[in-house]
Each structure stands twice: as structure tokens, then as C-alpha cells.
Structure 1
Amino acid sequence: MSHSLWHGVLPAITTPFHADGSVDHAFLAAHARQLIDAGCKGIVPLGSLGEAATLSFEEKLAVLKTLVKVLGDSAPVIPGIASLSTDEAVRLAREAKSIGCRGLMVLPPYVYSTDWREMGAHVKAVIAATDLPCMLYNNPVAYKTDFTPSQMAELAAEFPNLQAVKESSGDVRRFAAIRALLGDRLQLLVGMDDAIVEGVSMGAVGWVAGLVNAYPFESVKLFELAKSGGAKAAESLYAWFLPLLRLDTVPTFVQLIKLVQEKTGTGSETVRAPRLPVAGAEREAALKVIEHAIATKPSF
């Protein structure tokens, strides 16, 4: 598989739910198709934004089957592989390959986090489970596990199929540190929406994006401007988009992004408990941001 798998905008797709809490597969399929038609290069389901921790193993497989079926050869499905246990994560990786997924986003285990000996053993088991190209997801804020550049280098030396890293530490200096140690061995992707222009300027070739669920054309345009012309070229669109993109970096990011989808007609704010739709002052503040963005949306 070419390293081009990791290039461009890759939506961390939300999981739509019916009012009764079941997965809305018809909407999921249509939404994925719309994202690809808008210029996105692949779909990343079963991530944090996809509420994967609340999905059963069988529901995860059903989501993957729906996406692979609707996208076919037009775009890759690259699921997040995370679980409470290593055994289940390995099983999910193998099932993802058998369903037809073309890459994997490898996460540390949910909830439990200790040292490199254990966390390294977990991701090594998942990467080794198949020959699919893999992207390591580093998000110490959410998962309490921080994969350092030297640890990434160890993984890259052992596993040829580890091709990329989704960097979400919040420290843009990490891009330079990874590049200094590994050169072009690993493709760099931005994992925090409000760091996309900065990440691209530091060598990122892809963006695993969140607000793209509500604004796919604008997300693709922002990425393309940042890649082709740098911060200056992206400045105007970034200024409009940033208040929305910052909704991706708070604890209630799932509820907020789904609220943006609700208000833009690109989805529903229905979430799965223990999450609840945002309320009170937080909702009022978010709605001001969303309404301003809708009223001032740029045209291309």
C-alpha cells in the first residue's frame, strides 16, 4: 500500500444514532459518500469522535461493513483500533482486514495506561496482527499515554507496515522532533483541528479531522490552501474556521461537533450515554459560535 493512503483530509467520522440509540447505517453510508464527494481522501471510523468506546464489538464490525460496502474502491476505510484489552484489539484489527479495510489507526488501550513496556507491547501486538498499513495515534491528553519520538522510532524499525503517526499531543514541536529522528520514514498527520495550518507548515501531509463532518468542502479547501500556499494563503479561511475548530479540543467535543452537524443539516446531535447533548451556558456559547459561522460562511 502506498504512503499516499495518509495524504489529504481523512474525516474521523461521527457515528449517527437513531432516537432509540441504535446505529443509523443508512445515514452513515450517505454521510461517508458525501464526505468523499467533497474531496476527502478516506474515512476513519471508530475513533474517539465516533464514540467507539460505547459501541459493542458487533456494532463496530457492522459500521465497518457499511462503510466498506458504500465506498468500495473509491476511498479507503481506516478504522480506529482500540479496546479495553489487547486481545480484543487484535481481534478487531484482523476482522477489519477481513471486511476490506485498507489501513488501521492504532490507539493505546482505553482507560489503562502505564509505561512504555506495557503500552508498547499493546500497540506492537495490534500492528503485528495484520499486514495492513498502520498509523499510530498519539493523544496523551485523551488517553494518558504519550508515545515519544524515540518510541515511534523503535516501532518503525520493527514494523515496516507502520507508516504514519497521527500527532495530537498539542505540542507542534513534536512534528519537528519526529522528523529530526525519523526523516520521512513516518508520514505525519494532524489530529487536532485547531492546529492544522501549523501542522502542515511543519510537514504534515494529512489531517484526521473532526469539524469536516459538518464542513467538508471548507475543510478540504483549508488543507489545500495550507499545503499549497502556507499560512498566508490559508489565513482568511482559517480565521473564519478557528472558532469552530476549537470545539474539537474540549472534553465535550463529540457533543459539540454533533451539534454543529445538527445546525448545518449534516447530521444529528444524538449521542450515546453516558454522553448527553450539551446544555446550559456551554450550549449557548457553542450556538453563538455556530450561528456566527453559518452567517459568515465564505463562498468559493
Structure 2
Amino acid sequence: MLSEAAHGVFTIACTPFLPDGALDHASVASMTEFYLQRGATGLTLLGVMGEAPKLTQAESLEVVRGVAEVVAGAVPIVVGVSAPGFAAMAELAAGAMQAGAAGVMVAPPSSLRTDSQILDYYGNVARMLGDTPFVLQDFPLVTGVQIAPDVLLKIFAAHPTCVMLKHEDWPGLDKISALRRASDRGARRVSILCGNGGQFLPEELARGADGAMTGFAFPEMMAGVVAAHQAGDRARAQDIFDAYLPLVRYEAQPGRGLAIRKHILALRGAIKHADLRAPGAGLNPDAIAEVAFLIDRQERRLAELGL
């Protein structure tokens, strides 16, 4: 089961599709192997970049079962179960746990406006999920919900099954520092894994984060940065990050990031097809050429660093 001790790199997995829009089960398996071989210590399915709203609940569980079969318990699986209503959330969470998940992830609905509404919402989430451990996804750029550190600390204190914060506030480094200072003073400490495509990973680790939960197409970058940081070599962590930064930046384009990520994953053999499920378009020739240029430049820089 997922716990407060979780750390490392929980790669946000994409959802592979065939050109006709059907789930690509073979690519689910090859993608999972790809992530594990490149340093993932956990996998997160059906997140914002997993096209979860485009899947039926039955398809969502097919993806979880496909990944769990390959993982075979080697690393924990977190499944996004955010939904407009608690009934759908509870059903998907129960199915995901039965299929092999170690925990679930819940983002706040955009309708929440006050601290009391946020506290009440996550109180209901905790009661509805029962013993299932969950991740609180703090992603105000997408949800529009701002959760202050003191509100997060109240949620952590009141609900032991909230074991992780997926930190995606931006700018949000001071939030990490505030949470870690509070835990140093005796507040409950939960795992903090960070998203936003890894754009601030070195700084987030320095502020006290336990790792990354994001889906950059080169997960070995996150694994390398986290390993170097844990070894106390902050300069090497920054060198690794800097080598990949142009592609990190390019993949972070709003509205196009997933198409870029899937294109690169297909180039790398992780998935067979780069298709997004409709509605969603792939890359035009200009973008494909830009990606090729950046990958070539990245490979040369990594060779210079002996990576």
C-alpha cells in the first residue's frame, strides 16, 4: 500500500491508443517495461496527461490491470480517480485497488472556493475511500483551486489515509518549504512528489520534496536527478537536469505537451503509435523537426557529460 515514505520517481504514464482510437494493449505493456527500465520507482495512471476523461470506466480498469500485470508488484501504482461525483470516484477507486493499485489520486473540483469547502471536500473523500490511501493533487493551474499550506496541514492531520501531496503549484517552492518547516516542528509529514513536467525538479528536491511524479518522455532524467540529489551531489543533479532542459521546456507547451510526449515515446519505442484519442491532434512537420533537433542536441550534450 502507498505510504508517507514514498519517494523517487513515479512516472505519469500516457494512455496508448491505436490509430482507430482503441486501447493499444500491447503498448500498455511495452510502455510499462520502458518506464521500469529507466528508473521509475512507481507509476501513476489516468492522470491529467493520461487522457482519463476520454476513457470509459471499463477501459480505465483495463489499463490498470494491464500495467499491474507487467509490474507484478515491483513498484506501486497510483490511479487517478478524480470525478465530478463521489459515486463514480468510489467505484473507480475500488476497481483500481482490486486490479492492483497501491493508492489513488484525487484533485479538487474547480467549484471549491473557500478553505472550509476544501477541508469539507477532502473529509468526504477520506470517508468515501475508507482505508484506501490517497494522493492529494494540488494543481491550481488546471483546477483553479488554491490550497494554502495551513489548509494542507489540516487535511494531513485529520486524514491519515492522505499519504502524499502531488505538488504542482507554480510558483510553489515556498509551499514545499512551509510544509517541511511545519513537519520539522512536529506536524505530520507526508510524501511530496512534484509535477509540472519536472521543470523545477532540482529546486523542489532542495526544498524538501521526496521526488517527482510527472511524465517527461525521458524518465531517466528524473531518476538521475533524484539519485544525484540523494547522493548529496547537487552539482551533478543540476548538470543532468540542464542537459534535458530544452526538451523539458518544449514538452511543457500548453495544449501540445501530450502530443510531443507521445511522439517522443513512439520514437523511443515505448509505444507503437503517437495517436491521441479524439479530440486531440498530433504534431505538424515543423514541430516534428524541432523535436528531432532538440533530441540530437540533447544526445550530444549527454555524451559530453558521460551520461
TM-score (normalizing by structure 2): 0.88
The 3-state SS of whatever aligns with 1:58 is helix
Match of 2:241 in 1: 238
Match of 2:168 in 1: 168
Q: How many pairs are equivalent?
A: 297
1:1-300 counterparts in 2 under 5 A?
A: 1=1, 3=3, 6-109=6-109, 112-128=111-127, 129-170=129-170, 171-183=172-184, 185-192=189-196, 193-211=198-216, 214-251=217-254, 252-267=256-271, 268-279=273-284, 282-298=287-303, 299-300=306-307
- What residue identity is the alignment partner of 2:245? L
- Residue pair 2:46, 2:60 contacting (<8 A) in 1 also: yes
Superposition CA RMSD, Å? 2.3
The 3-state SS of whatever aligns with 1:3 is coil
- Residue pair 1:97, 1:130 contacting (<8 A) in 2 also: no
> CA deviation digits over 1:60-112, x for unaligned, max 9?
11111111222122111111121232321222222222222111222123x64
TM-score (normalizing by structure 1): 0.89
- Whole-angstrom distance in 2 between the partners of 1:262 and 1:98: 30
- Of 127-136 and 63-72, more deviation after overlay is shown by 127-136
- What residue identity is the alignment partner of 2:55? L
Gaps of 5+ in 1: none
- Residue pair 1:84, 1:112 contacting (<8 A) in 2 also: no
Gaps of 5+ in 2: none
- What residue identity is the alignment partner of 2:8? G
In the TM superposition, residue 215 of structure 1 has moved relative to its aligned partner by 2.2
- Whole-angstrom distance in 1 between the partners of 2:282 and 2:162: 37
> CA deviation digits over 1:138-169, x for unaligned, max 9?
01011111222111112112111111111111
- Whole-angstrom distance in 1 between the partners of 2:117 and 2:63: 29
The 3-state SS of whatever aligns with 1:123 is helix
Distance change >3 Å, CA 229–CA 32, structure 1 → 2 = same
Percent identity between the two aligned chains: 24
In the TM superposition, residue 266 of structure 1 has moved relative to its aligned partner by 2.6
**Highest relative contact order (Cα 8 Å, sep 6+), 1 or 2?**
2
In the TM superposition, residue 282 of structure 1 has moved relative to its aligned partner by 4.9
- Residue pair 1:150, 1:181 contacting (<8 A) in 2 also: no
- Residue pair 1:106, 1:136 contacting (<8 A) in 2 also: yes
- Whole-angstrom distance in 2 between the partners of 1:39 and 1:166: 19
Distance change >3 Å, CA 52–CA 227, structure 1 → 2 = same
